[in-house]
Amino acid sequence: MWDLHDLYASPQAWQASYEQVRAQAQTLDRFKGTLGRSADALYTALDAISTVNRVSDRLGVYASLLGDEDLRVAVNQERRQQAQDLATQIAAQTAWVAPEIISLGAAKVQRFESERAALQQRFDFYLTDTLRAAPHTLGEEAEGVLAAAGNVLAQPEAIHDQLADADLPYPQFRLPDGSSVRLDEPAYEKYRQASDRDERRRVFDAFWGTWSSYQGTVGATLTTQVMGDVFTAQVRHYDSALASALFQSNMPEAVYRTLVAQTNAALPTLYRYLRLRRAQLGIQGPLAYYDNYVPLFQPAQPPHFPVADAERITLAALAPLGPDYVAMLRSGFTSRWMNALPHPGKATGGYMNGSAYDVHPYILINYNDDYDSLSTLAHEWGHAMHTLLANAAQPYEKSNYSTFIAESAAISNEMLLNDYMVSHARTRAEKLYYLGAGLESIRTTFFRQVMFAEFELAIHQEIEQGRPLSGARLTQIYCGLLKRYYGEAEGVMTIDPHYCIEWAFVPHFYYDFYVWQYATSMAGAAAITDSILKEGTPARDRYFAMLKAGGSDYPYDLYKRAGIDMASPAPYQALAARMNRLMDEVEALQREGDAGGGRPKAH
């Protein structure tokens, strides 16, 4: 269990800090009209605003983490709302800043930076990015209105999370031994892996049957989210919601378009994997959607990894990242930064929250002692290590890195872990098991996330083109994508329409074009890990330079400096090639087994 005392000694201490910062936030508009007086005036204003934001971030982390410990505790959810309100107030009180900086012009801003070193050291990237956004920055009054609307625009996600994590009446599911479990998200993720096909079908029927009962409600919630995204894009004069989302990280639209095109071109690789799955499971005829999650290769005794073992293995697997990285990770493991085990009321899923710049990152996972949990632990600690490296190298104002970079840091850890498990497998069955897990990771993190991205773009375009959305329409759109990605027309998999409600379950659709970054990051991570394993120290140094850069530059440029052009087909084609290589290795091991070969060689 994590220890939140590093953030605040008590809820009362949190409340005292909250009141103090709220009072400070209400005075920030005193700097209005002063930014152009001198370099010192500009620095003084930005420093005061940054100080308030820094404490507000810390308040938000505490409120969010304490709220996620038990979503049923109303006072903790109310504290989370207080923190969100405060962030909205600060945004409203400082909505004038960007228009005023833009009015100064680039020449004057650059002169001020040359006159005050601290201004350039802390705020140069912010100032450059603000000036870049001039065509999409509104007047002071309009910026204030948009900032004040932040709480309202955040409500669709809050409603979805409350329903999914606390209020949805998940069914009781009877297990083969006669006992029953509440089929909430963690239980669904566990029991959908059942080796018995009929049990998997019953898990899907029960879980998605419950979600289907709320198709209209969740459809209205997601439609509201999309409307909010489109509204914000339109009032800021973007061509589309996608263009708005990409602008924030200065990401060329060619990256998104290339990703989607290359993923569709690589669908035959996915079909090859699914046919391999069908053969291994001994299924006659097409696969069903509920056949996706049973491990492709299951040892007689499934591997079992308590948290302590997972930490030990992760340290060994990440040795290619060097002794300094491993030592820092070991220190994190010995600290109380992680809430690991599932319990009633706890938020589902997993995440790293590193927004408390002056403290340390925190991690939430729902650990089930299996390989997937081990991989998740390595993933989330990849985020934590990225945060530690960026915070050590950058001031607060340039520490908040892009998701594009963040996910590469996490997925690189997953890939190194998988490579380690394959190379250290004690038997052919174990080796096949981990190869299967590596293949499944590519299916879920690459192909599945790009499918999500296509869905997200499609539903935004529906609203942008004046067409209505509903729960039923969302299900229809999602169903079409499932059929294409999983090869229904090619006879690979049959999609039961009852499972097309899956879109309602995915919280990432409330994050405004977030999911596709997992896929680009996986392609980037594959290139990064391959280069580290082949080149050693030079590649590792380039990688760490990218992580330490934090938010001091745009992610596309940081990737390019690390030797990867995310707008070219190369990284996506390399990932598809990696998937084919894994399947080649699987098939070679299967042939070896058929020929009566022995244990794999030691590594």
Q: Where are the domains of the chain?
A: 4-153
Please name the fold of domain 4-153. Butyryl-CoA Dehydrogenase, subunit A; domain 3 (1.20.140)
Residue-level pLDDT at 296:
87
Residue-level pLDDT at 281:
93
Residue-level pLDDT at 550:
97
Query: What average pLDDT does this structure show over 11-37?
Result: 97
Residue-wise pLDDT tens digits, 249-264: 999 999 999 999 999 9
Query: What average pLDDT does this structure show over 143-172?
Result: 89
CB 278 within 8 A of CB 270: no
Distance, CA of 355 to CA of 359 (rounded, Å): 9
Categorize the per-residue pLDDT at 603 as very low, low, confident or very high, splitting at 50, 70 and 90.
very low
Q: One-letter amino acid identity for 153?
A: L
Categorize the per-residue pLDDT at 514 as very low, low, confident or very high, splitting at 50, 70 and 90.
confident
CB 379 within 8 A of CB 410: yes
Residue-level pLDDT at 543:
96
Active site includes 380? yes
Closest CA to 46 of 105, 102, 127, 106: 127
Residue 150 has pLDDT above 90, yes or no: no
Residue 597 has pLDDT above 60, yes or no: no
Distance, CA of 165 to CA of 346 (rounded, Å): 8
Residue-level pLDDT at 598:
42
Distance, CA of 77 to CA of 72 (rounded, Å): 8
Residue 167 has pLDDT above 70, yes or no: yes
Distance, CA of 97 to CA of 601 (rounded, Å): 63
542 is written with which tokens?
Answer: 């380039």
Please name the helix (run of DSSP H) or strand (run of DSSP E) that holds residue 111, with its range, or none: helix 106-115
Q: State the average pLDDT for the chain.
A: 94
User: For 67-120, where are the E strands, in sequence order?
Assistant: none
Highest mean pLDDT among 12-26, 83-97, 342-356: 12-26
Query: What average pLDDT does this structure show over 578-586?
Result: 95
Q: Which residues contact 419 (CB under 8 A, 6 or more apart)?
A: 317, 529, 533
Query: What average pLDDT does this structure show over 518-534?
Result: 90
Query: What average pLDDT does this structure show over 417-445?
Result: 93
Residue 137 has pLDDT above 90, yes or no: no
Categorize the per-residue pLDDT at 147 as very low, low, confident or very high, splitting at 50, 70 and 90.
confident
Categorize the per-residue pLDDT at 377 as very low, low, confident or very high, splitting at 50, 70 and 90.
very high
Dihedral class, residue 279 (left if φ above 0, else alpha if ψ from -120 to 50, else beta): alpha
Categorize the per-residue pLDDT at 160 as very low, low, confident or very high, splitting at 50, 70 and 90.
very high
Query: What average pLDDT does this structure show over 62-84?
Result: 95
Residue 595 has pLDDT above 70, yes or no: no
Residue-level pLDDT at 442:
95
Share of the chain above pLDDT 70, in %: 98
Residue 362 has pLDDT above 80, yes or no: yes
CB 475 within 8 A of CB 501: yes
Backbone φ and ψ for 162, nearest 5 degrees, come out as -65, -40
Residue 100 has pLDDT above 80, yes or no: yes
Query: What average pLDDT does this structure show over 425-433?
Result: 92
Residue-wise pLDDT tens digits, 475-503: 999 999 999 999 999 999 999 999 999 99
Categorize the per-residue pLDDT at 300 as very low, low, confident or very high, splitting at 50, 70 and 90.
confident
Residue 166 has pLDDT above 70, yes or no: yes
> Which position among 185, 380, 456, 502 bears the catalytic label?
380
Residue-level pLDDT at 596:
52
Residue-level pLDDT at 83:
96
Residue 602 has pLDDT above 50, yes or no: no
Share of the chain above pLDDT 90, in %: 85
Per-residue HEC secondary structure of 565-594 comes to: CCCCCHHHHHHHHHHHHHHHHHHHHHHHHH
